[in-house]
Structure 1
Amino acid sequence: MSLHDTSSEGRLQGRPQTGSQPAIALIDGNNFYASCEAVMDPSLLGRPLVVLSNNDGCIVSRSAEARRLGIAMGTPYFQVQRQLERLGVEVRSSNYALYADMSQRLMATLERWVEELEVYSIDEAFGLLSRREGEDLSSWGRQVRRAVRRELGLPVAVGLASTKVLAKLANRLAKTQPAHGHVFDLEAQADPTPWLEQVAIEDVWGIGRRLARWCRLRGVADARALRDMPSGELRQKCGVVGLRLQQELRGHRCLPLTLVPPPKQETCVSRSFSQPVRTADALRQALATYTVRAAEKLRRQHQRAGALSVFVRSNPFNGTSFYSNSATVTLAVPSNDTAVLLAAALPLAETLFRPCHPLQKAGVLLLQLQGEEQLQHHLLQPLPPEQQQRRAALMAVLDRLNRRYGSGTVRWAACGLQPAWAMRRERLSRAATTRLEAIPRVLAR
């Protein structure tokens, strides 16, 4: 169904069909990573659960039960491991394949409920719908919550207002005020001012730490004060961006929905190693792995890269001298062919490797991106159309196989097999929505 479909089948479910005012909804998955884990393993429901970052480093998601225990976001796992065991907290490694698939399913569900949808992040989306004069859309929000829970098992919060910034605030109020039941329509309130006073300046969308400190030094401590402060003073500090934020707080739409994301200017793949890389061969394998991943992303974006940069660094906290370096190469002909990018990236490993500096992290950055619809050839390095088509067809086949049968089904030899530096995920759950062998089995007797 098209987002702009106006046929009877394309009309929106459970929401008013006519209206004189546009309304903005922000639908946000609650504790998204932890909620996805609970969907795949119902035994986790109602139990405290945390999800860890890359290499099982820090806590990046917490269930509501874990929040109530006072477990802080971003806490290094090794610091609280014994505490979590003592409190009976379940721990999971990040399962990115599962979260990405659940995110796609969530956005597909939300598309049926709004006129237009902007996917803002893996667990957030802005939706545009219509509001009749004086209408409270809370009932619509509750229907959306029920539909997502019924179809995906995920809890979501819905904030409704006239602008994106106010919808963000409404969503926060929906989650922090238990009486609202995770749905709050700010526009339906007789006076929104008391509600804006409940949102600290640090929690306003677009306000960073430094700007929040600047505001508090001037007595601007909440969203209401930011809305009412002199526009000239705010513009002098933040320019047009600050004025747009203030106008949004006043109910004037300045930030339209972004339905088609702009083309990326660069694409990066980087990871910290599970253990220090001490050999040039291991570094080549890591760079090959990251280059293959970056090339796949580039093809999904329908882009080619004109340059490639590789960077490495050691651990700045292990008591040895810190080492950080990078190298860049320009391609004669922009490409998204994995073989071409590997040929450019792998020689840089010898340039960057230092035996006396064990490496903690490396990455590949693709630069000078351009769309696939154009290609500037090189006079001295011709690329015949037949060869270009054959290579493009080969890359398409490899991508289809890895999508259908799972990432890594067809591998490049340069990546190695089961490298020791690979990301540590000792508590990884099954990718039950993307791998046939991981589908749960149910026995009926």
Structure 2
Amino acid sequence: MPIALVDCNNFYVSCERAFNPELEGKPVVVLSNNDGCAVARSNEVKALGVKMAEPWFKMEQLAKRHGIIALSSNYALYGDLSARVMSLLSTFSPKQEIYSIDECFLDLDGFDSQSLVAYGQTIRRTIKQYVGIPVCVGIAETKTLAKLANHCAKKRLAGRDGVCDFGRYSDTQLSKLFATIPVNDVWGVGRKISQSLIAMKIETVEDLRTANQTRMRQQFSIVVERTVKELNGISCIELDGTDTPRQQIMVSRSFGQEVSNFDDLAESIAYFASTAAEKLRKDGSVATSLCVFIQTNPFKDKSPQYQRSLIVPMGEPTGDSIKLVNAAIQGLRVIYRVGYSYKKSGVLLMGLQSRDAIQASLFDDAAEQDKSSKLMTLMDTVNQRMGKGSVTIAASGTKRRWSMRRDSKSPDYTTAWDELPIAR
């Protein structure tokens, strides 16, 4: 059963370039929360030796010498473009597994094996034309091999024009190819496992593919044995086309500047609880409890340290932003201590259940629940039509002095009416 792995190229950078063509061909790096470290790099930046997660202060001089353009992360933009990419990709296969924000598996069972490369090219052209994001496509008989084929397409080790189908290669050709690829490039082989494998003289993909499966299981685990089988074309990891309901939803941020007073901290907690509640309703779920937490900066050794969390039961399952915000702030009142400079806070919604599976109690106020449901539906509808944050809970504030540093953030081109790009 052929499987395709479609992966967006340097996704965050590609999102920025889609709306700012002047960035094409230039070295671009996207920074993490509070402009801390590299979370996405263009090929030009990679060629300069900048590593993933490298702190900005370490590359700042290099950036000045080579004209590296640093951008703050814009997750609203990336999330929206990801949804558009995944929606388009779903039209290419009856079964899709979204693996991450920028990649997904497609079931190509029943497709003409002789035309899969052409089909992959059609996928690439369509995504580029409709969303402006470049992708590569890897095709093989198992998920592990499909990931490897995609790697080969991106690195131009095999395939052509961003598409690599291992089904077009003989066993001899694949053996020669795999002998040139380091073992740590295999999906699921992390740094520690790869170090152990290399110590055993298993240094390439081909070495791992031809390794004794029983020995791999005894030396490591069934996971590594499964990887070896997948490299030999034996499917052990099924394609999961179902959306598994989330068990928890967390929203948390480190602050751009430290917060000491209760009101600013409460504003952050209210904002996080409201954001989590919006995600909860989008999933069609309700929460039975929440956890609120705060902490100081653990990297400031000379400053007083404090961190605390508290679980707050909701009484009855709810997806109401107002109720969840009130509960979170009540929890904050219990754990807050004067005299500390807080660096991070967050809210975790717990005990999630399907909204449709909740049975009403004899003591429930049906009219109040109906009113709450209509209010939340109205709020979500307005925010969907007019842009995120058009209607908010008052307690979440507007100034948000605690918010992340994002000194070089691009506009929210697709999710805010007042930031829509203007055609010239």
* 1:422 aligned onto 2:403: yes
Alpha-carbon shift at residue 172 of structure 1 (Å):
0.5
**Residue of structure 1 equivalent to 2:164:** 184
2:34/2:406 contact within 8 Å kept: yes
2:259/2:343 contact within 8 Å kept: yes
**Residue of structure 2 equivalent to 1:148:** 127
**Residue of structure 2 equivalent to 1:256:** 238
Alpha-carbon shift at residue 216 of structure 1 (Å):
2.3
The gaps in structure 2 that reach 5 residues or longer are none
Range with greater deviation from structure 2 (226-235 or 89-98): 226-235
Deviations 1:99-124 (A, max 9, x none): 11111221122223223221111110
1:268/1:363 contact within 8 Å kept: yes
Matched residue count:
420
Give runs of aligned pairs for residues 294-373 of structure 1, distance below 5 A: 294-319=276-301, 320-373=303-356
Structure 1 residues 376 and 108: CA distance shift in structure 2, 3 A: closer
Give runs of aligned pairs for residues 31-430 of structure 1, distance below 5 A: 31-130=10-109, 135=114, 137-177=116-156, 180-191=160-171, 192-319=174-301, 320-375=303-358, 382-430=363-411
Q: Distance in 1 between matches of 2:223 and 2:368?
A: 48
**Residue of structure 2 equivalent to 1:29:** 8
SS at match of 1:255: coil
Range with greater deviation from structure 2 (260-269 or 434-443): 434-443
Alpha-carbon shift at residue 133 of structure 1 (Å):
7.9
**Residue of structure 2 equivalent to 1:431:** 412
Q: Distance in 2 between matches of 1:376 and 1:425?
A: 44
Q: CA RMSD in A?
A: 1.9
TM-score (norm: length of structure 2)? 0.94
2:27/2:69 contact within 8 Å kept: yes
Q: What is the identity, as a one-letter code, of the residue corresponding to 2:321?
A: T
Deviations 1:372-392 (A, max 9, x none): 12225567xx32222212211
Structure 1 residues 113 and 377: CA distance shift in structure 2, 3 A: closer
2:293/2:332 contact within 8 Å kept: no
SS at match of 1:289: helix
SS at match of 1:362: strand
Q: What is the identity, as a one-letter code, of the residue corresponding to 2:315?
A: A
Q: What is the identity, as a one-letter code, of the residue corresponding to 1:177?
A: R
Alpha-carbon shift at residue 217 of structure 1 (Å):
2.6
SS at match of 2:294: strand
Q: What is the identity, as a one-letter code, of the residue corresponding to 2:357?
A: Q
TM-score (norm: length of structure 1)? 0.89
Q: Distance in 2 between matches of 1:376 and 1:333?
A: 10
1:337/1:392 contact within 8 Å kept: yes
Alpha-carbon shift at residue 269 of structure 1 (Å):
0.6
Structure 1 residues 358 and 173: CA distance shift in structure 2, 3 A: same
Q: Distance in 1 between matches of 2:157 and 2:23?
A: 22
2:322/2:393 contact within 8 Å kept: no
SS at match of 1:135: helix
Q: Distance in 2 between matches of 1:242 and 1:376?
A: 44
1:131/1:137 contact within 8 Å kept: no
Q: Distance in 1 between matches of 2:113 and 2:360?
A: 60
Q: Distance in 2 between matches of 1:124 and 1:168?
A: 10
2:15/2:78 contact within 8 Å kept: yes
Alpha-carbon shift at residue 404 of structure 1 (Å):
1.2
Q: Distance in 1 between matches of 2:267 and 2:420?
A: 31
The gaps in structure 1 that reach 5 residues or longer are 1-21
